[in-house]
Structure 1
Amino acid sequence: MQGLVIGLAGIGLSMTYSILNFANFAHGDYITSGAFAGWATTYLVAGLGRADVGSLLLVGASGSVFGGQLGIGITETPLAIILGMVVAGVAAVGLSLFIDRFVYRPMRAEEGIALLITSIGVAFAIRYLILFVFGSDVRGTTDAGGVPEVAPYFVDGAIRISMHDVTLVVASVGLMLGVHLLLQRSKLGKAMRAMADNKDLARITGIPTEEVIRATWIIGGALTGVAGYMFILWKGTISFNDGWLLLLLIFAAVILGGIGSVYGAIAGGLVIGLAASVSVVWIPSEFARASAFIVMILILLFKPSGLFSGRATA
Structure 2
Amino acid sequence: MGIVERTLSSRPSTDTLVVGFVAVVGTVLLFDLLARFAAIEIPLFWGMTFGGRTTFVGFAGLLWSGIVVGLIFGLAGIGLSMTYSILNFANFSHGDLLTTGAFTGWGAALLVAGWGLADAGYLLTVRAGSGPGPTEIGASVVSAPVAVLIGALVAALLTIAAALVIDRTVYKPMRDRGGIPLLIASIGVALILRYVIQFVYGSRNRGVTSTEGVRRDVLGVSINLHDLSLVIVAVALMLAMHLLLQRTKLGKAMRAMADNKDLALVTGIPTERVVQATWILGAGLAGVSGYLYVLERGTAEFNIGWFLLLFIFAAVILGGIGSIYGAIAGGLVIGLVHEVSLIWLPSDFNAAAAFAIMILVLLYRPEGIFAGVSTA
Q: Same fold (TM over 0.5)?
A: yes
Structure-1 residue corresponding to 2:292: 230
Are residues 59 and 290 of structure 1, via their aligned partners in 2, closer, same or farther at CA, if it must alter by over 3 Å? same
**In structure 1, which of residues 72, 75, 92 is the aligned counterpart of residue 142 of structure 2?**
75
1:99 aligns with 2:161: no
Q: Deviations over 1:92-127 (max 9, x none)?
A: 110110100000000010110100000000000000
2:307 paired with 1:245: yes
1:165 alignment counterpart:
227
TM-score normalised according to structure 1 size: 0.95
Q: Does 1:303 align with 2:370?
A: no
**Secondary structure, counterpart of 1:109 in structure 2:** helix
Inter-partner Cα distance in structure 2 for 1:149 and 1:17: 41
**Alignment partner of 1:283 out of 332, 341, 345:** 345
Aligned-partner Cα distance in 1 for 2:200–2:357: 38
Q: Alpha-carbon deviations, 1:169-214, whole Å to 9, x = none?
A: 1100000000000010000000000000000000000000000000
| Partners of 2:194 and 2:69 in 1: CA distance | 22
Tell me what 1:6 maps to.
73
- Equivalent position of 2:247 in the other structure: 185
Q: 2:154 corresponds to which residue?
A: 87
The percent identity for this pair of structures is 59
Q: Could you tell me whether the CA contact under 8 Å between 2:206 and 2:301 is conserved in 1? A: yes
RMSD value, Cα: 1.7
User: Quick one: distance in 2 between partners of 1:27 and 1:65?
Assistant: 32
Cα-to-partner distance string for 1:262-299 (whole Å, 9 max, x where unaligned): 11001000000111111111111111111110011111
Q: In the comparison of the two structures, how many residue pairs are matched?
A: 309
Distance verdict in 2 for CA 1:246–1:148, change over 3 Å: farther
Bigger RCO (CA 8 Å, 6+ sep):
1
Rounded to whole Å, the distance in 2 between the matches of 1:310 and 1:289 is 27
Q: Matches of 2:104 and 2:213 in 1, distance apart?
A: 19
Task: Identify the match of residue 117 of structure 1 among 168, 184, 190.
Answer: 184
C-alpha deviation, 1:308, in angstroms: 0.2
The match for 2:283 is 221
Residue in structure 2 matched with residue 50 of structure 1 by the alignment: 117
Matched, 1:259 2:321: yes
- The answer to whether structure 1 residue 207 and structure 2 residue 269 are counterparts is yes
Q: Partners in 2 of 1:146 and 1:178 — Cα distance?
A: 30
Match of 1:176? Answer: 238
Cα pair 1:147 1:235 within 8 Å, conserved: no
Q: 1:302 to 1:148 in 2, by over 3 A?
A: farther
- Matched position secondary structure for 1:161: strand
Q: Do the aligned partners of 2:109 and 2:151 also contact (CA within 8 Å) in 1?
A: yes
Larger displacement relative to structure 2 (49-58 or 192-201): 49-58
**Selected match of 1:61 from 120, 128, 132:** 128
Contact kept, 8 Å, 1:4 with 1:266, in 2: the verdict is yes
1-structure distance, mates of 2:95, 2:375 = 21
Aligned-residue offset at 1:89: 0.5
CA contact (8 A) 1:7 1:250 kept: yes
CA pair 160-26 structure 1, distance change in 2 beyond 3 A: same
Q: Which one-letter code corresponds to 2:338 in the other structure?
A: A
Tell me, yes or no, if the aligned pair for 1:66 and 1:139 is still in contact at 8 Å.
no
Q: Where do 5+ consecutive residues of structure 2 fail to align?
A: 1-67
